[in-house]
Structure 1
Amino acid sequence: MMGVIVNVGCGALINEKELVKCLVRGKIRGTGLDVFENAPDVPQELCVLENVVLSLHKLFTPKSCKNALKIVIANLKVFFSNEPLLSSVTDD
């Protein structure tokens, strides 16, 4: 049984040259990556293989940034009104 490698954490975890060799030789069934060893550069060999899924690594999307900004603004309003915060970070 061949494995599939998924890396969404850190590009340096995977040696992409060796990964390509293993994918081509059939030692690894497939891979899914959204981080790359030398980001933003992605090896062309990975881009053309049928058993590879590539994605952009996005910690923040425009929608998540807008939502975070709404929470910050709402918390500032209640803070300056001496009301309890809507969301807070504690040491608990």
Structure 2
Amino acid sequence: MKFWAVLLFCIAVPSEIPGYLFGSMHYPFRKFLAAMAIAEAGYAFGIVVAGESLAIDRPLPFLIAVGILAVVAVLAGLVLRAVRKHKSGGLQRR
């Protein structure tokens, strides 16, 4: 599996799922660790911004940070779905 696909998967789903999945697939640990580090760094930054804005009682940065995190996760899921559909030749599963 290519690194960018692993990275998109790590961004799109909760962090426990990729650990179980790629561990059972015997995916190379260093590549998995790099993908998780990139994915989790983005979420960590967003959570820090959101938490700080709540601590100083400014809800707008909180809402923006949460919105950006949600959009990134949804876009990663949509890209994965599009890639999977493209690889299957555009045929829908029934």
TM-score between both structures, scaled by the size of structure 1: 0.30
Which is richer in strand? Answer: 1
Q: Which has the larger radius of gyration?
A: 1
Which structure would you say has the larger RCO, counting Cα contacts within 8 Å and 6 or more residues apart?
2
Which is richer in helix? Answer: 2
